[in-house]
Structure formats: C-alpha cells, structure tokens
Amino acid sequence: MGTAKIPENIGVINPYALAEVMLKRKVNWKRVNAPQLLEKTLGTAYENLFDPKHDSPLYAGLNLNRKTMAMERTDIPSAAKGAHRALLDVRATTVWVDPGDFFEEGTELTDPVQGAVGDCYFIAALSAVAWARPYVIAQRNRATGTGQQNFVDMIEFFKAGKATKVEVTELCPLQAPGNTYIYARSSEAGEIWPAVYEKAYAKWRTSDPGDQPNYASIAGGDPVGAIVQLTNLAPTYIGNASLTAHDIWQKVRANSISMKTFNPMVAWTYSTSPSPDVNYNTAHLVANHAYTVLGWAFANNQEYVVLRNPWGTYEGTLNVLGGAWVAWDQPYYGGTGFWRTISMATADGVFALSSDTFKKYFAGFGWVKTPEAP
C-alpha cells in the first residue's frame, strides 16, 4: 500500500545559482530584493518560476509533457535565448580551480547546496546521507594523489550492487571573471566536498574518462536511487496519494529515532500542480523538486514532516512549524549524543511542513536501509 512509481526525472535548477551565472557574479541575496532580482534576471514572472507548466527556465534539460503531465528529458535548443542561452554559454567562461579544502568542519546536512543544473535529486540525497549516515561520506572517499596542483580524490558509487571507483581532481568548474561557483557548492566557506562529489557523480553518470565532465547531462533523476548509488543500501518508494497524512507521518517516524531520521530519506513533489488548489508559488514550494527528509515533529496536535530544500534557502511557508525543532543526534564514532536544535527562522532551507500539506503537495518519499536477513 502506498508503493510509488520510481521518480525518474525529478529536477529543477536553483534559481539563485542560475541568476548568478547570468550576472557572472556572486550575489548577497540577503541584501537585495530577491524576487525582483530573480524575475528581472531570469526573464520570467516570479510567480511562474516554480512550476514547469509556466515554461520556467528552471527546468532546462527537462520538458513537461502536456498530455501525460510527466517530465521528460530534452536538449536545450542551440538557438535558445535568455537563461537557457546562459547555460549553453557558461562552459566558454568556465575555469577549473581548486577553491578550498575538502572538509572544513566535517560532514553536515546543510553543507550541500545545489547549483545551476537540475540535479536537486542528487544534492538532496547527498544531504540525506550527510544527515543520517555521515560516516558514509567520510569513508567512501579516498585521497589518491598529493600533488599541490592536482590533488586527486577517489569516490565510490554503486549500480546493481557493483561498486565503481571514480577518481577526480579537486579542480572545480567556476565562472570567470570572478571565479564564482556554477554548480554544487558548500554552505561552509572554503569547503568543497559537495562540489567534488557532484563532479565525480557527473563523470560516473556520463562515463566521461576525463576530469571535466558535462554537468548538463545529469539534469533530472531519481532521488531515492541517488541514495542507493551513494550507499548501496536497499530502497523503499512510497506514494502519497493512497495514504492518509497520518500514515505518511507514521512511516517517517518508523525510520527515525527521537525525531531524527536514521535511514537516509528524501521526498519529491509532483511534476506540476496536480489540482487547482495546489499552488507551488504561494506555498513557497517547488514542483518536480527533491527535498531531504530530516525527521518529524508534533506540536499543538499537529503532525509535521521536517524537510530541507537543497537550495539551502527558500523554505515552505504554508502550514509550517515556527520556533525551533529539536532532535536527538547520535554520533557514529563513539561518545555521547546530544539534542540538536535547528531554528525554523534561519534561512538554511530547513522547515517543518504539516503532514496534511505534505500529502497534498508531495507525490512521494522514500528511504534506504540495510537489507534484512532472509
């Protein structure tokens, strides 16, 4: 009951990253009128950005089939203009630079921030692993070179249970002249592990033998499948349509300890608004988008699902929990755990959505776990 169809083409570009690509500079989004600047830069009304039915440029590389309402892969036309043109032209201004250290303060759930390619499914999965099983990130990468100019990392991915070791340098694609990030980056200044992981993933997905893979080819994917590719654990897919909001909340609880998920978990929204009363813009949610599921909350007789947007900002605003969320964080390397407090007012992409609203706006969710013994 509640089994979901595998979501194959979940993907939407981070609008803040896309705008910076078009402007060719980093923007302090806290000091500008973000909706106004996004609308002006991306050439699309702000209220039309977050659903592909409005032909939003955020869905470049994917196309909404108007008959089936499913997302399909597509190439950006060579004669494209505006935001699509910028995505085609960005490779001409790309410089490959080592911009920092692999880790600064270890693996944190808020580290991975998506860039200007529609791989939210992968960044949400990376955040889910960093949150529920941080040791996987620490143990599945290996430094294989020591040259100061081309430090090399080996990162492991899985397909059908078979591991592939991918080697990449720590040279990341930045945009000249300001050397700003184009694709994944870390919220931690000077840290590059999300960028290196994404680079290795793009190389693996595209079978590129070199060190400068084509990121455009990884737009759209399966967020649960991406966790499997990172961990080699067994997946479960759940569809929301046939479940009650309470049933959904209970399944999240069943994969959590003291309100925090212990099995890496992600969720995805519908490819487009499934009914007239679902408006992604007014809810501050995004269609065809993947989110990390962090756990659950219960307050004032209301059940909540705690989520993180891989953009590192743009939290849901419809029927959300205020204040702070507290969950038990158990370390994997010995020692005692602690109660982690996360403010719902901080612009870090984390928010708690009522289970009723989650059921209405999200098509499904899923997790991975260690296979049970026969």
Whether the per-residue pLDDT at 330 is higher than 80: the answer is no
Digit-coded pLDDT (tens) for 62-74: 999 999 999 999 9
Whichever domain contains 339, its CATH number is: 3.90.70.10
The reported pLDDT for the residue numbered 1 is 60
Q: Is residue 53 part of a domain?
A: no
Q: Which of the two residues, 151 and 181, has the higher pLDDT score?
A: 181
Q: Is residue 172 part of a domain?
A: no
Digit-coded pLDDT (tens) for 161-195: 999 999 999 999 999 999 999 999 999 999 999 99
Digit-coded pLDDT (tens) for 67-125: 999 999 999 999 999 999 999 999 899 999 999 888 767 788 899 999 999 999 999 99
Q: Is residue 200 part of a domain?
A: no
Domain count, the chain: 1
Q: Which two tokens stand for residue 287?
A: 């269609």
Q: Which of the two residues, 136 and 305, has the higher pLDDT score?
A: 305
Q: Is residue 296 part of a domain?
A: yes
Digit-coded pLDDT (tens) for 287-302: 999 999 999 999 999 9
The reported pLDDT for the residue numbered 329 is 81
Query: Nearest CA to 199 among 112, 268, 132?
Result: 112
Q: Is residue 353 part of a domain?
A: yes
Mean pLDDT score of the chain: 93
Q: Is residue 71 part of a domain?
A: no
Q: Is residue 210 part of a domain?
A: no
The reported pLDDT for the residue numbered 101 is 87
Q: 268 pLDDT band (50/70/90 cuts)?
A: very high
The reported pLDDT for the residue numbered 331 is 64
Q: Residue 337 is part of which domain span?
A: 234-369
Q: Is residue 356 part of a domain?
A: yes
